[in-house]
A and B are shown apart, each in its own frame.
Chain A
Amino acid sequence: MRHRGRGIACMWYPIGFTVAANPSAAVVKVNEDGSATVLTGTVETGQGALTVLGQIAAEELGIAADDVHLVSGDTDATPMDTGAIASRTTYVTGNAIQMAAAEAKKILFEVAAPMLGVRPEQLEARDRRIQVIGFPQKNLPIGEVAHHAQVVMGRPPLGSASYNPPTVAMDPETGQGKPFSTYVYAAQVAEVEVDDETGEVEVLRIVAAHDCGTPINPTLVEGQVEGGISMGVGLALQEEILFDAEGRQINPNLTNYIMPTSLDMPEVEVDIVKNYDPTGPFGAKGVGEPTSVPTAAAIANAIYDAVGVRIHSLPATSEKVLMALREKRAMQKQIPAE
């Protein structure tokens, strides 16, 4: 017989470690056609980092994301980056890019101010224009200002910056300190069906609520959450590296190392909890690794809710669940019914 159950699991996850140097740096150049070029050492692995970083530069400069050209991942041309690791890129590299873009923008404002007959503080960058705050009809195209800055004023609109999350050393006595710059939070609920004759677990649905600060690109956040959940489902029910007595992996192939296919993926509902972190670029924190943290725990709790057994080692294979069910039945037989 198949039993249905639900389980919940919550997590927090640190973004921007501070126990060691963790810098990112960027160079931003505004071009005479109104486009911008960003140099960053970080690497796109499909998560959409360059899209998000381009959006951050565009937002700061008041231009469109399509106007931003990113040069990345080659330290012959770009600054070094600590890495596309630790769910840090949006936060740490994003901050560096926003700061570098702000520097370039400052030059544009100083050049545009006398052209528009105002002070630089009275300007804003929006819709590909430098305009007077409150009087947007008084404006100049960004490209024109960049051109003027370059060829008339001799001040090319460039910015460079680096960001290293503020460090607070750990107290050697208490072990306390501030090891991370900020934190993200999430809760996931799993709904499963467990077959009490075979021990087989099917995950029907996962609902995932994730705080990532301001979602710079909600579609990409969803993609991260959905992908993380598939890894969590694999961790919960299927994936296991097996070793022989000599420590050699005995399943170094996809025939015997089983990972989720399209048939194993549950329905996924993603709820992005909007938040704002004043230390992040436009309020953003991060999303990536956190997405697969609570999934297996939620599934294990759902198994308990369905059939009343606790699985303490992953993956919760049919064999393990069935064994636990047998043990539970044997226990119940020993206890005389009242």
Chain B
Amino acid sequence: MEITIRVNGQERTASVPPETTLLTMLRANLGLTGAKLGCDVGDCGACSVLVDGEPVNACLMLAAQAAGRDVLTIEGLGDFQELSPLQEMFELFSSFQCGFCAPGMIISAKALLDKTPNPTAAEVREALSGNLCRCTGYTKIIDAVMEMASRGAAESERA
């Protein structure tokens, strides 16, 4: 079937079998390999993307369910030449090691900060609890999100 999704601000269309997940369509049909295939059953969060601003596991959503909606993947933030402020913060804190969890982790952090610009540490831990990381112990990931939040709060006070 023909499916059109607005991905990172662009209309993208692919012809896929009806059982295709959003993750497979993004990776295999649209060439967006930022979202990772970890477990394929909703346990690891490596495939996290935003659909209409809500974080979802793209491995659990059918591509057809995303038709006509707005999908944001890690490619929609920054790139090597110009990282987004949130990505820069993770880099500053050396938050990641192997990086496999990073695209999903960053998307989950963005989803949290978009809704709750000034979260508590407990809220950060909760928001990231669906994203498994084998390498880092989460410490520097949580620290980066907290720092991002406190800078964001300082900026909105100035504004």
Taking Cβ atoms with an 8 Å cutoff, the residues of A that contact B are: 45-48, 219-220, 222-223, 226-231, 253-255, 259-263, 265, 268
Contacts and interface: CB of A to CB of B under 8 A. Distances in A.
Given A46-B98, A262-B142, A254 B39 contact: yes
A259 B132 CA distance: 8
B138 to A, nearest CB: 4
A231 B142 CA distance: 17
A261 B128 CA distance: 8
A229 B140 CA distance: 13
A261 B141 CA distance: 12
A253 B137 contact: no
B126 A48 contact: no
Given A219-B94, A227-B134, 17 more contacts: A45-B97, A46-B135, A48-B94, A220-B94, A223-B140, A226-B137, A230-B137, A231-B134, A253-B39, A254-B41, A254-B132, A255-B41, A260-B137, A262-B125, A262-B128, A262-B138, A263-B126
Interface of B: 38-39, 41, 43-44, 94, 96-99, 124-126, 128-142
19 contacts: A45-B98, A219-B94, A223-B94, A223-B136, A226-B140, A227-B136, A227-B137, A228-B137, A230-B133, A254-B38, A254-B39, A254-B43, A254-B132, A255-B43, A261-B128, A261-B130, A262-B128, A265-B125, A268-B139
Contacts of B43: 253-255
Contact of B125 (A223, A228, A263, A268): A263
A231 B139 CA distance: 13
Interface centre among A228, A230, A254, A262 (most CB of B within 10 A): A262
B94 to A, nearest CB: 5
Main SS at interface, chain B? loop
Contacts of A226: 136-140
B125 A46 contact: no
Contacts of A223: 94, 97, 135-136, 140
A253 B132 CA distance: 13
Contacts of B126: 262-263
Contacts of B99: 46
A228 B130 CA distance: 20
B138 A230 contact: yes
A261 B124 CA distance: 12
A228 B44 CA distance: 19
B137 A268 contact: yes
Contacts of A229: 137
